[in-house]
Amino acid sequence: MSIDFENELNEAQREAVQTTEGPVLVIAGAGSGKTRTIVYRLAHLVESGVDPSQILLLTFTRKAAQEMLNRAEMILGRSLHGTSGGTFHSFAYATLRQNAMDIGFDNGFTLMDRADSENICKDVKDSLKLGKGDRSYPRKSTLLDMITKSRNKELPIETILEREAYHLNSYLDDLNEISDGYAHFKRNHALMDYDDLLFLVDKLLTENKPLRNQLQTRYRYIMVDEYQDTNLVQARIVKLLAGDKGNVMAVGDDAQSIYAFRGANVANILKFPQIFKDAKVIRLEKNYRSVQPILDLTNEILKGATIKFDKKLYSDLKSNHLPEVVHPLSDQSQAKLVVDQILEFRRKFSLHDIAVLFRAGYQSFPLEVALTRIGIDYQKYGGIRFHEAAHIKDVLSYLRLVLNPHDLLAWQRALDHIKGVGPKTVAKIYKAIHARDNKYLGKMTQKHEQLGELLGELNKLRATPPKPSAILESILAFYQPILTEKYPDDYPKRQAGLEQLSQIAVNYSDMEQFLGDLSLDGDPEEEKRKENAVVLSTVHSAKGLEWSAVIIIDLVEDRFPSRKAMQRAEDLEEERRLMYVACTRAKKCLKLFVPSSVYNRASGMSEPTLPSPFILELPDTVFDRMNESYGGGLEQRRKRGTTGATPLSRPKTNESETSTTPKTDPSKLGFCRHKIFGKGKIIARIEPNKCRVNFPGFGLKVIIEDYLELI
């Protein structure tokens, strides 16, 4: 069948789909049909005669890759069997499994999850006798965070501490020791974590030229989704797979790069045209999600970015209503006003089609209390992942031991339920098993009957065909009495989770792949979305989602942008992108809340706030301003040029477009100091009570005079 490009794609999408040779960068603005473009390009490649096995699709979730492949098959009317589609980590896992001997793992390796890695960090710390008696010593999760951030950002731990955790500086030497010990432990026990997958496949491709050439020949067409979220090592892997003149298409949006804390590096997408010479840059600017007034506001947010791909989103969706900037008197009254707004939205939209977004999780606490008080259900994104549940981890430890008897962490978990067998005894049993010390093992199995049962079960399973579903059924039968004893209060609920695990196992024929996918995916059963509940979410968790009505709260300095981000210009730029992501989640209605004061726990009082610089920058033509009156209602402030007060908004930085003329000659104005931006030069005074100030490293800001100290 022939693909209908003319009616199904706009002009920019068609260009992206039909440009198949050479490097291509698709800058896909929010809501611009990015996934549709990738799907049609997949279909177009196959329809043009490309063998599906020559296509590699790299995404950040397995679900996204599968959805794209399924949709492409529907367009084509036939299978895309053979296409390699999945996450960077799953690609690396498969490649390393096939070439394990080349990286020194002659007997294969086991992939660990987050909890395993944390436990190793603790064991290494204890073995080094670090932190004894120190109650403020970093927890195992923090130790791992510092190590993995150092690796993903490819910066020394010292730099990570300086930028993100200066309060841990006194533990720098310890962290370096633990990091080295962690690496040695993994190597000695044939273990890998998520970071190892990427760095080892990078090393393998760099050093093994025949393999690199083989993969470059095999994958003639490479497509990478969400390229703005790649870290340095992922970008290198793409370069190694594509070669200098490969047919690689990177799709993403520099304005939605918001995961620097995970190691994502916006420079990867910004420098793509320099890394891949003669790359073609295609911009998708037509938005299919939001009404035009919302896009007018988001375009203004992007104007202030220092380094970017210029784009201007537009839409065929019209509206007579502007987004609103609401100024509550305090963060406490903000909660009440937001609830009132939700009740108003509920007349037009389903509750699950209304979202309240915030920079950090704690910011929704007052709202949660207010919603509970009046009986409105809400869903706050988060929760324990499927494979991190204790009973699931128990069962997976047995599966891991069937494959890798060297997995000490799995032994610790599998023997955890046996009374009297602690970590030291586990270590002795582990040593005896590998030294074939049958005398000691015989003594221990006599003392601990359950140990003998477990060893017998594992021996039996190693001798059976390695079909995951069959092995799992045997393990579940063995585990049933342990389940009821270990979790007496809620084992029926946990049983349901184990049944779900059984259903997943049926789809696998390879045990390594089954375990690898569980560790890579993290959540085989997604949390079900409530159909009659307001969504409360951090902006990071909201990326990729959309709602008819979106409310963003706490748009004041120190909260959005966060206090930490105000210290470095590049961090402030990421906060701008976060603001852009938040606003572009809205389809029909957008409300921005800017409380005039926030409660300070230390003083026990509410203190005045500064509006977020992203609000101050907005020209008053793109929003309506609403103020909370002292009587508790909302009053609309009239715009400039009409009767009434002037709204608090920043005039456009382009002087030719500014509608307010500075009262004083800028050359006669002096210097000032601001508590966040530091020392700056006053460029102009703006009636009635603001100044335009140039702060080195931050650029032009419009600040209320009361918050400036003249120097």
As annotated, the binding site for ATP includes 28-35
Q: Do residues 610 and 560 lie in contact, with contact meaning Cβ atoms separated by under 8 Å?
A: no
Q: Which residues are annotated as a binding site?
A: 28-35
C-alpha–C-alpha distance, residues 261 and 683, integer Å: 35
Measure Cα distances from 145 to 142, 152, 195, 231 in Å. Answer: 5, 10, 12, 16
Q: Do residues 567 and 606 lie in contact, with contact meaning Cβ atoms separated by under 8 Å?
A: no
DSSP state, residue 61: S
| 145: CB partners within 8 A, 6+ apart | none
DSSP 21-34: SS-EEEEE-TTS-H
Task: Kindly list the strands in the beta sheet with 690-695, ordered across the sheet, starting from the edge strand earlier in the chain.
Answer: 699-704, 690-695, 678-686, 671-674, 709-710
C-alpha–C-alpha distance, residues 122 and 133, integer Å: 15
What is the longest distance spanned by two Cα atoms in the chain? 95
Q: Do residues 557 and 610 lie in contact, with contact meaning Cβ atoms separated by under 8 Å?
A: yes
Q: Do residues 56 and 224 lie in contact, with contact meaning Cβ atoms separated by under 8 Å?
A: no
Q: Do residues 417 and 485 lie in contact, with contact meaning Cβ atoms separated by under 8 Å?
A: yes
Q: Do residues 32 and 257 lie in contact, with contact meaning Cβ atoms separated by under 8 Å?
A: no
CA 438 to chain centre: 49
Q: Do residues 289 and 296 lie in contact, with contact meaning Cβ atoms separated by under 8 Å?
A: no
Query: What region does 376 belong to: left with phi over 0, alpha with psi -120 to 50, or beta?
Result: beta
Q: In the numeric block, which tokens belong to residue 643?
A: 């009767």
CA atoms within 13 A on the CB side of 75: 25
Task: Please tell me the chain's helix, strand, coil percentages from 3-state DSSP, rounded to the nearest 5.
Answer: 50, 15, 35
C-alpha–C-alpha distance, residues 702 and 616, integer Å: 7
Measure Cα distances from 424 to 127, 153, 429, 451, 572 in Å. Answer: 12, 36, 9, 15, 49
CA 440 to chain centre: 48
